[in-house]
Structure 1
Amino acid sequence: MTEGDTSDQVTAEEVLFREPGGTWWWLLAGPAAGGAMMAIQLSGGAGVQLGVPAIFMILVSGFLAIQIKAARIHTSVELTPTTLRQGTELVKIADIVRIFPEPKRHETEKWQTYRAFGELSGVPRGRTGIGIKLTEGRSGQAWARRHRTLRGALEQLVGEPSS
């Protein structure tokens, strides 16, 4: 198969909603940590020994890179006309029967105890759950930082208002 053949067969679906889960901008904390160590050395009057700031920069950048990569895998969201991807789990839009309404203030709804989609033990921190009823009596929680935008896109795809 030639390169032209594969591009004809694989068509990218339109992405209706996307959250990457983590930003690579946090890697700038590594050079900042190295710069801070250099400033500490200068303020101490001992002169600059480049090894210590370099080690701090490498260690901080390395640990952050691992965390960012994990966040981009496990807390990312992507909605297309046919699938909802929550982390590493795919939910077919055709399997969604109903989207539960947002809970009223200071009330807890039953759907808030449902399993969160993805490989995580619950809705990730900083995200808000969206109750979803699936076919065959299954249910779960979709989640996103911009949950109202995701909810609106899901309601348009499912075709049923959440009220």
Structure 2
Amino acid sequence: MTEHSASPQVLFYEQGASWWWIAAGPASGVAMGLIQASAGYGFQWLVPGIFFVLVTGFLAIQVKAARIHTSVELTPEWLRQGAETISTAEIVRIYPEASGSEAPKWQSARALGELTGVPRGRTGIGLKMTNDRSAQAWARKHQKLRETLTQVVEERIPPESV
């Protein structure tokens, strides 16, 4: 058993992609059947069946990959970004949001997960890590993740007084 097998309190979760996208496969089969019927060919199973199988299969692979590589889960002990998990103890502070015309230095830091950058449709969150490292966490609901991550870090490390 791994340390993640016990049911920890999940503070933030994004699934990555919805299985509802697979409904496009049957919809494409029905659409091809309707096109055949409206063109006067009657209904023949081959073309709608091929569309159904190919579109459903392709989308199932895409959704499965998105659910693995773009899901996010935060507990008090760890942050999982896609297929990479880090301990929240490694996070020293959360950088402020990017504002203004000049990009902050943290935006060029490595994105967590096994992807080459922040996934499309997600927004990066700058993290200062132990050993003077920087990284980017990311999420669709980045404001909520930022807020929750900040709470987790501040519970462990009180914010610096100004």
What is the match of residue 33 of structure 1?
A: 28
1:75 aligns with 2:70: yes
Q: Offset at 1:125?
A: 0.4
1:100 aligns with 2:109: no
CA offset digits 1:16-52 (Å, max 9, x no partner): 0000001000000001100110011001101110121
> 2-side partners of 1:69 and 1:94: how far apart?
30
Q: Offset at 1:73?
A: 0.3
> 1-side partners of 2:7 and 2:45: how far apart?
47
For structure 2, the 5+ residue unaligned runs are none
Q: TM-score, normalised by structure 1?
A: 0.91
Structure 1 SS opposite 2:13: strand
For the 8 Å contact 1:155–1:161, the answer to whether it is kept is: no
Q: TM-score, normalised by structure 2?
A: 0.91
For structure 1, the 5+ residue unaligned runs are 1-5
Structure 1 vs Structure 2 CA RMSD: 1.7
For the 8 Å contact 1:23–1:68, the answer to whether it is kept is: yes
1:161 and 1:21, CA in 2 relative to 1: closer, same or farther beyond 3 A? farther
**Letter of the 1:49 counterpart:** Q
Flag as ranges the 4+ runs of structure 1 deviating above 3 A: 160-163
What is the match of residue 3 of structure 1?
A: none
Q: Give the number of equivalent residue pairs.
A: 155
Quote the sequence identity (%).
60
**Letter of the 1:144 counterpart:** A
> 2-side partners of 1:63 and 1:161: how far apart?
47
Structure 2 SS opposite 1:34: helix
Q: Offset at 1:106?
A: 3.4
